[in-house]
Structure formats: C-alpha cells, structure tokens
Amino acid sequence: MQKEPGLINMLKNIIIYRYSDKERNNWKVDEDRIKSSNFENCLINDKGYYQKRIENLISKTENESISLDFSGNEYHRFTVSCLYKSGSIQASDETPFIPVLFEMILRNESSFILCFDSGKNLSKVGTTLLANATTGNPSAIEHILLNKQNFTDLQNWVLSGSLPGQIKRMTMHNVEYGYFRYKQIVLRSENLQNSELFKSLYPSTPIVTNMSFSTPLLRASGRSISGRINYWGGLTIYSGGLLESELFELIRVLERILQ
C-alpha cells in the first residue's frame, strides 16, 4: 500500500456518499474481497431491486476494478479504474470507451465515502464495487442529502469564531416574499450573510439546493478555504494546494451536521 499523502493534488470536485442506515455498522474492508469485486459478482449479490442500475453500469463500463491503497485508523483510501463510456464526444455512431482512474476515501467513524473528480455517473462505478466488497450488498452506499436545517447549521459554523468565514452564494426554491412565490432565487455577493435581502428571503424558503462559502480560519492550516456544496452531496473546493488535513476538518464538520 502507498503511504498516507499530506497534499491532495489537483483536487476540485468531491461527491459525498455514505452507507445506508441498515449497513452503516456492518461494512468490513478486506483487501482480497476488494481486489475481486466486479460487476459480475455484484449481479450475483444483488437482491433484485438494484439489478437494472448494475446492468446500466455494465453497458458503460469495461475492465472495472478497485484496489486498496492505504488503510489507517481514520480512513481507507481506494483507487477505481475502468474503461468508461460517458456519452458521445465525437460525430460518430459509436461512443468510445475511455480509460479513467479516480480515488475514493472511506471514513471509518462516520461511514462517509468521498469520491474525487469522478462525477455523478462515474462515481457509481466505485461506490457499487466498494459496497459489494465491504457488505456483499452492491446497493449499500447512498448519496447524502442536505436539507435546509443542514445548510443553516453549515452557515452557523462558517460564521463562527473570532475570524469567521462568509457566505458567497445561495440558491433557494419556493420562496414566499410579499405576495409572490418564487420558484428559484439565486443570490450572489461577498458577505452575503450581511445582505438585508438575504436576511429577508432565507427564513421564508423551505428548500436550499446549493451554497458557496469561505470557511473560518482552519485549525489545520490557519487559512480559510473556499468551496461550494450541493444538496446531493457534491462538494467543490476552489482553493488551490488543498491539504488533506484541511479537507478532513471540513468533512468532520459535515459529519457532525449530518449525523
């Protein structure tokens, strides 16, 4: 296995998953089972309701594999590789398979899974293989979903401390304001939390779909990092030279919010 790295290179996009309630305390990492996990035995282990999703992945994927690269007290790190057909990228009837490689981290205490730079569809290759290898159930890993209270709790953390961060952007839905209901309102500004318009609208919205923010100064590095999170667990980091310790400090906040 590789040594634990301290700097995450070229990290921009993360999708956060976690094990289902039923499987959250039942997973086990075994290197031999990880190595042998593929879509063929996913179909064998499937209980029936996930079969069509696996078959859809099979139609887009070849030579899929997952390997265990690092195992520690706080997390496990994996590499997923395959040939993947993501959609038409040229004027041809035949879409080519493209070699892809991405990393995943399984957080031991929270059972969160972080998929790096893979996108919604491709990340399902990794989560399906990992779920199959660690629980025998290929559908055991699910998206996290943030509700409005989760976004409120995240705001409270962002704005906490002697050197707080800031809210930079918010997308709200079904906002009732005055005599109107707005299907969607997007507000964008530095220090948006100080805007009177934001203060007026936020209490009346039942749904928040994404938020951009800068963190308070992090204990890990003494600096603030900028990012954006979507309600389905998509996390984008805008700050360069991201340290693993910085990422995990932010992830620990999300784990507390979503526990």
115, 232: one domain: no
**Average pLDDT of the chain, as a whole number:** 92
105, 39: one domain: yes
Compute the distance between CA of residue 222 and CA of residue 154 in angstroms, rounded to an integer. Answer: 19
pTM beyond cutoff 0.85: yes
Question: How much is the average pLDDT of 202-226?
Answer: 96
51, 116: one domain: yes
Taking only the tens place, the pLDDT of each residue in 19-73 is: 999 999 999 999 999 999 999 999 999 877 788 999 999 999 999 999 999 999 9
What is the SS3 assignment for 83? strand
Least confident of 35-39, 47-51, 201-205, 245-249: 47-51
124, 172: one domain: no
Half-sphere exposure of 20 (CA within 13 A, CB side): 14
* Domain final position from 94, 121, 143: 143
pLDDT-derived band at 10, boundaries 50, 70, 90: very low
* Domains identified in the chain, total number: 2
Taking only the tens place, the pLDDT of each residue in 103-142 is: 999 999 999 999 999 989 999 999 999 999 999 999 999 9
**Domain interval for residue 215:** 148-240
Q: Which residues touch 180 (CB under 8 Å, ≥6 apart)?
A: none
161, 231: one domain: yes
